[in-house]
Amino acid sequence: MIDHKGLIISINFLVLVLLCMEYDFFVYVSGEVRCIERERQVLLRFKKGLIDDYILSSWRSDNIECCNWRGVVCSNTTGHVIGLQLPGDDISGYYLEGEISSVLIELHDHLNILDLSGNDFGSTRIPEFIGSMTNLQHLNLRDSNFAGNVPPQIGNLTNLQTLDLSYNNFGGNRIPEFIGSMKNLQHLNLGHSNFAGNVPFQLGNLTDLRTLDLSHNYDIRFENLSWISHLSFLSQLDLSYSINLSNIDWVQQILLKFHSLQELHLQGCGIINVVTPYLNSSSISLSTLDLSENELNSSTIDRLFNSINVTANLRKLYLRGNKLERLPSSTTRLPNLEDLDVSFNSMEGIISEADLSELRNLKVLDLSFNSLILNISPVWSPPFPQMDAISLAGCKMGSHFPEWLKTLNNLSWLDLSSAGLSGEVPDWLWTNLSPWMQYLNLSHNHFIGTIPDFSSKSTQFIDVSSNNFSGPVPLFPPSTRVFQLSQNAFSGSISTICAVHSYDFLMVIDLSDNRLAGELPNCWENMTQLEYLNLANNNFSGEIPRSVGSLFYLETLHIRNNSFSGELPSDLRNCENLGLIDIGDNMFTGNIPTWVGAFNLSIRYLSFGGNRFHGIIPLEICSLTQIQILDLSRNNISGNVPSCFDNFTWLVEKNTTSVVFTAIGYVFTVVENFFQEYVDYASVSWKGQESEYYTKNLRLLKLIDLSSNRLVGNIPETFSSLKGLVSLNLSRNSLTGSIKTDIGQMEMLEVLDLSHNHLSGGIPIGLGQLHYLDVLDLANNDLSGEIPSSTQLQSFNASVFAGNSALCGRPLALCRGDGPGPSTGNQLGDTDDDENDDGDGDGTLTFLEEFGIPIILGFMFGFWGVVASLLVKK
Ligand SMILES: *[C@@H]1O[C@H](CO)[C@@H](O)[C@H](O)[C@H]1NC(C)=O
Ligand SMILES: *[C@@H]1O[C@H](CO)[C@@H](O)[C@H](O)[C@H]1NC(C)=O
Ligand SMILES: *[C@@H]1O[C@H](CO)[C@@H](O)[C@H](O)[C@H]1NC(C)=O
Ligand SMILES: *[C@@H]1O[C@H](CO)[C@@H](O)[C@H](O)[C@H]1NC(C)=O
Ligand SMILES: *[C@@H]1O[C@H](CO)[C@@H](O)[C@H](O)[C@H]1NC(C)=O
Ligand SMILES: *[C@@H]1O[C@H](CO)[C@@H](O)[C@H](O)[C@H]1NC(C)=O
Ligand SMILES: *[C@@H]1O[C@H](CO)[C@@H](O)[C@H](O)[C@H]1NC(C)=O
Ligand SMILES: *[C@@H]1O[C@H](CO)[C@@H](O)[C@H](O)[C@H]1NC(C)=O
């Protein structure tokens, strides 16, 4: 995926910042105070209601010139405050919270512009008083966490030219009809806001409308579409994922009607067919056409373009995720085309130099994830030297590095992942790496060799994972956001990472599955943005440095399977956003720290298994109410099992699944609004096998593993309230007492291992009534009596019950007379031993079969412009 827009947005932003700085400077020098004192007082009162660390820091009572305050726009002639532009700051991650004070009404006579986008107003309703600010011309409340319905008072804002309510959550309310009476509206954005119901036809009264975005409101309906044809000045229309069109007929009509239409976005509208065209082609001015995520095939596209002769104007064409079987020949003859995205189709065949020779203006080309063969000579000189972004992921290009890319020296985005490439990466890629290069993905090939220091470049995303790169971890640039080197043969220490000048953007470090060794350097305190750290499966040793505790935003910590030792530094408690902590299979010592309770709001996955922890399980562990996977197995932990496990809310509830496992993620987009999740994995011991699973579906798994310790006492009765628990392993301890009868309440149990303890008494009938139970082990205890008769228990292998000398009944030998166990109407039938041995074949859908193996940490972090503020907030 290629993000072209992102680049543009960030550059614009820079320009804006520079302009602002210059402007401030100008005013400061001129020395006149324009600000009106009464209005300044209003602004100070307005500030009082808000929680803010940064955005309003220039709004100070000792700062007289309020016209210089950040976000305040004054009239050059009258000095009145005419605009408040207070968007959350994507780059720094700061945003406003708290109350939008109604003192703003006092600015009502002059205020034209109110922009509160990208802030977090905590799911409150849009304040009614805003409806009284009737001189407003521009109101931007995008992505500010507003909820409820849109108050009717907003309908009084009849002077509005721009209204942006997108990226909020209007919880299934209808789009208000009163918007239709805002006759001056030119720009209306209601996308991504969870509106539902019929779209009011009154919107057809907005005859001045230039842009209309109703996209991603999955539950809105269009009773009829005729009102749209009244919007004769429309130049941008986005109905992606909000309308079901099946037939492209409507698209053609719309193109015919709107001579001014320049951008049309119809992603995910279920479009299948194209009907016989009848358009007067000379009238079409379309420059952007987005038909991604529909059902279109190549001949449909060819027919569309052959009929509507758009060749002169079309600049951006997005056909991602359709059913194209080949590159539609019409698309290779669009001389002004700048962006072509045909990724995620099922195209086959060969792309040659000739196919691309007419596309002289191409800036973005995305051919990824098809089955294309690129047959291009290494000495080819492409007709598009200005190319900005190219993705050839999954294309076959022969085994050697595509040397022709060398001529594209403005690239900001290069994705050659999963392309079957091998050998060394040519030096020019690193040395000539364009100063603009932001995204470089060489992952999933067979590259060898070392990677030189490229810290003088400006790369933000670097992914060379799943290759055979070796040598030391290279020094990366301070601009890096994602540094992904996993599954290679990198070796040596990682102390070089301390030599990076700054880590202001660093969000992801993944060095897992390499041959790295030595102690961790102690330079983590400046990596303030780090959310994801994965050092698993290397040979690191020594203690965890205290500075790891400064990673306040850390959500995921994987250091499994190294040789770390010593006690965990208590500074780790500061990482209170941790959702996943996996320190399993190391040599950590000491007690399970009581401060784990500090993770009470966040943690879902905690694995301390396979270390040398001793002492008791601290009661503080029971404050981890969000926990879904708790693994303390294979340590030297003693004492009782705490009886407060019924505090684990997620394990108690049967049908709950967390929305996301932990919340981090990349957003890479060619077109706005397309999300790609970052794939993380976690290690889980499931049915006796330790495996790594993608974490997306881990959100459905609920597991406790306390096996192989020195725990004593009874299994607490509270366990039976863990009605959502899927897997419980208490084996290889010294537990005593009986298996409680109400174990039958743990309805979701698929795996139960109580083997190698000293449990006594009978096997309760309830155990035979656990419908999903698939793996059971009760061997090597002191259980006695008759195994309750039920198809379920009898279907297990006899070894499941072995080593309990006083236990009898199928599948073990028959009992002699009445045993002391719970006796049921057990027919003493045949003694055949050849019945089905494992419990797998009974047709029960088990957890992973039902939900698929890969499990992703619903990884969702921001990437520049469009969606960035969503991310920072979580
Ligand atoms: C005020 O004047 C400055 C400098 O000429 C200009 O950049 C700015 O746009 C003007 N502001 C308004 C609101 O007209
Ligand atoms: C604003 O709208 C409300 C509700 O729609 C209405 O009752 C009120 O009279 C309006 N106020 C003004 C000043 O127009
Ligand atoms: C096609 O549209 C153009 C420009 O709008 C107009 O001049 C021409 O007459 C139209 N031709 C037909 C056949 O309708
Ligand atoms: C690199 O490409 C692979 C496979 O195409 C993809 O899974 C991965 O997410 C990409 N990496 C980044 C950082 O985008
Ligand atoms: C962290 O940043 C501060 C201030 O920029 C600097 O003085 C300090 O040396 C840095 N620490 C490390 C370990 O890089
Ligand atoms: C149970 O969880 C609550 C928080 O929801 C916590 O305050 C309480 O201390 C926990 N109980 C125990 C026994 O840890
Ligand atoms: C486990 O802990 C006990 C003391 O609690 C100690 O005697 C024993 O050596 C420990 N075992 C291991 C393998 O560390
Ligand atoms: C329970 O844990 C032990 C290791 O402590 C492991 O050997 C066994 O296979 C696990 N049981 C199940 C059913 O996963």
Tokens 């394990």 sit at which residue? 651
Residue 226 has φ and ψ, to the nearest 5°, of -65, -30
Give the least confident one: 93-97, 352-356, 634-638. 93-97
pLDDT, position 275: 54
Query: CA–CA separation, 192 vs 199, rounded Å?
Result: 15
Pairing relation of β-strands 196-198 and 211-213? unpaired
Query: CA–CA separation, 261 vs 276, rounded Å?
Result: 21
Give the number of whichever ligand sits closest to the CA of residue 778.
8
Of 19 and 291, more confident: 291
The Cα-based distances of 12 to 5, 16, 315 in angstroms read 10, 6, 20
Q: Is the pLDDT of residue 821 over 80?
A: no
Q: Which atom of ligand 2 is nearest to the CA of 134?
A: 13
Q: Is the pLDDT of residue 136 over 90?
A: yes
Is ligand 4 within 6 A of the CB of residue 343?
no
Query: CA–CA separation, 127 vs 707, rounded Å?
Result: 55
- Condensed to tens digits (0 to 9), the pLDDT of residues 753-795 reads 999 999 999 999 989 888 889 999 999 999 999 999 876 888 9
Scanning 308-340, the segments in alpha helix (DSSP H) are: none
3-state secondary structure of 42: helix
Atom 12 of ligand 2, nearest CA residue: 156
Q: What is the pTM of this model?
A: 0.79
> Are the C-beta atoms of 49 and 100 separated by less than 8 Å?
yes
E-state strands within 353-485: 364-366, 371-375, 389-391, 413-415, 422-424, 439-441, 446-449, 461-463, 468-471, 482-484
Which residues face 482 on adjacent strands? 461, 508
Q: Is the pLDDT of residue 143 over 50?
A: yes
pLDDT, position 18: 35
Is ligand 6 within 6 A of the CB of residue 644?
yes
pLDDT, position 643: 93
Tokens 């049908």 sit at which residue? 655
Tokens describing residue 599: 């993770």
For ligand 4, the distance from its centroid to the CA atom of residue 444, given in whole angstroms, is: 9
Nearest to 430 by CA among 419, 446, 447: 447
Given pLDDT bands bounded at 50, 70 and 90, which one contains residue 823? very low
Of 397 and 598, more confident: 397
Tokens describing residue 50: 């808000």
> Are the C-beta atoms of 416 and 389 separated by less than 8 Å?
no
Ligand 2 neighbours (beta carbon < 6 A): 131-132, 152-153, 155-156
* Residue to mutate, 283, 284, 285, 307, ligand 3, most ligand atoms under 8 Å from C-beta: 283
Residue 173 per-residue DSSP state: P
Please provide the DSSP assignment of 785-829 as one string: EEPPP-HHHHTS-GGGGTT-TEEESTTSPPPSS--SS--------
Given pLDDT bands bounded at 50, 70 and 90, which one contains residue 665? very low
For ligand 5, the distance from its centroid to the CA atom of residue 479, given in whole angstroms, is: 16
pLDDT, position 502: 87
Q: Which of 136-145, 448-457, 523-532 has maximum average pLDDT?
A: 136-145
* CB hemisphere CA count around 368 (13 angstroms): 18
Of 534 and 10, more confident: 534
- CA-based torsion, 215, 217, 218, 223: positive or negative: negative
> Are the C-beta atoms of 749 and 725 separated by less than 8 Å?
yes
Cα 749 to chain center, whole Å?
Answer: 29
Q: Is the pLDDT of residue 307 over 70?
A: no
Q: Per-residue pLDDT averaged across 289-300, rounded?
A: 91
Q: Is the pLDDT of residue 516 over 80?
A: yes
Is ligand 6 within 6 A of the CB of residue 626?
no
- Condensed to tens digits (0 to 9), the pLDDT of residues 235-264 reads 999 999 998 887 666 666 676 677 788 898
Q: Which atom of ligand 1 is nearest to the CA of 73?
A: 13
Sheet holding 782-786, edge to edge: 760-761, 782-786, 806-808
User: Using DSSP, how many helices (H) and how many strands (E) does the chain show?
Assistant: 10, 51
Query: CA–CA separation, 16 vs 589, rounded Å?
Result: 53
The Cα-based distances of 506 to 280, 462, 526, 530 in angstroms read 52, 11, 10, 6
Q: Is the pLDDT of residue 12 over 50?
A: no
The Cα-based distances of 13 to 19, 522, 666 in angstroms read 10, 35, 20
**Residue 721 neighbours by CB distance under 10 Å:** 18
Residue 364 has φ and ψ, to the nearest 5°, of -130, 125
Q: Which residues contact 623 (CB under 8 A, 6 or more apart)?
A: 597, 600, 647
Is ligand 4 within 6 A of the CB of residue 211?
no
* Residue to mutate, 366, 367, 417, ligand 4, most ligand atoms under 8 Å from C-beta: 417
Tokens describing residue 617: 């399980």
- Condensed to tens digits (0 to 9), the pLDDT of residues 682-721 reads 677 777 777 766 655 566 678 999 999 999 999 999 999 9
Is ligand 3 within 6 A of the CB of residue 283?
yes
**Residue 435 neighbours by CB distance under 10 Å:** 11
CA angle 275/371/392 to nearest 5° reads 100
For ligand 1, the distance from its centroid to the CA atom of residue 73, given in whole angstroms, is: 9
Is ligand 4 within 6 A of the CB of residue 417?
yes
Tokens 């000293």 sit at which residue? 758
Tokens describing residue 178: 């009163």
Q: Per-residue pLDDT averaged across 54-62, rounded?
A: 92
| Chain mean pLDDT for the chain | 83
Q: Is the pLDDT of residue 852 over 50?
A: no
Tokens describing residue 192: 């991504």
The CA-to-CA distance between both ends of the chain, in Å, stands at: 24
Q: Is the pLDDT of residue 224 over 80?
A: no
- CA-based torsion, 394, 395, 399, 403: positive or negative: negative
Nearest to 608 by CA among 582, 575, 638: 582
Q: Is the pLDDT of residue 69 over 90?
A: yes
pLDDT, position 84: 97
pLDDT, position 871: 26
Q: Per-residue pLDDT averaged across 654-661, rounded?
A: 57
> Are the C-beta atoms of 97 and 52 separated by less than 8 Å?
yes
3-state secondary structure of 865: helix
Q: Is the pLDDT of residue 5 over 60?
A: no
Peptide linkage before 328 cis (omega within 30 of 0) = no
Give the number of whichever ligand sits closest to the CA of residue 154.
2
Q: At what angle do helices 865-873 and 4-30 cross, to 10 degrees?
A: 80
- What contacts 24+ positions apart, CB below 8 Å, involve 125-129? 125/149, 125/151, 126/150, 126/151, 126/154, 126/165, 127/100, 127/102, 127/151, 128/153, 129/102, 129/104, 129/105, 129/153
Ligand 1 neighbours (beta carbon < 6 A): 23, 73, 75-76
Query: CA–CA separation, 844 vs 850, rounded Å?
Result: 9
Is ligand 5 within 6 A of the CB of residue 526?
yes
> Are the C-beta atoms of 809 and 774 separated by less than 8 Å?
no
pLDDT, position 685: 74
Give the number of whichever ligand sits closest to the CA of residue 25.
1
Q: Per-residue pLDDT averaged across 267-296, rounded?
A: 75
Is ligand 7 within 6 A of the CB of residue 587?
no
Q: What is the chain's length?
A: 874
pLDDT, position 471: 97
- CA-based torsion, 145, 150, 155, 156: positive or negative: negative
- Condensed to tens digits (0 to 9), the pLDDT of residues 573-615 reads 999 888 889 999 999 999 999 998 888 778 888 999 999 999 9
Is ligand 3 within 6 A of the CB of residue 278?
no
Query: CA–CA separation, 468 vs 443, rounded Å?
Result: 10
Nearest to 572 by CA among 586, 583, 560, 587: 583
> Are the C-beta atoms of 603 and 626 separated by less than 8 Å?
yes
Peptide linkage before 811 cis (omega within 30 of 0) = yes
pLDDT, position 47: 96
Torsion of CA 384, 386, 389, 393, to 10 degrees: 30
Per residue in 265-292, is it b (16+ CB within 10 Å) or e — as a string? bbbbbebeebeebebeeeebebbbbbbb
For ligand 6, the distance from its centroid to the CA atom of residue 721, given in whole angstroms, is: 16
Q: Per-residue pLDDT averaged across 117-132, rounded?
A: 95
Tokens 């992102």 sit at which residue? 6
pLDDT, position 303: 80
Atom 6 of ligand 6, nearest CA residue: 623
pLDDT, position 621: 94
Q: Is the pLDDT of residue 28 over 60?
A: no
- Condensed to tens digits (0 to 9), the pLDDT of residues 193-208 reads 999 999 999 999 999 9
pLDDT, position 243: 87
- Condensed to tens digits (0 to 9), the pLDDT of residues 325-384 reads 999 998 988 889 999 999 999 999 999 999 999 999 999 999 999 999 999 999 999 999
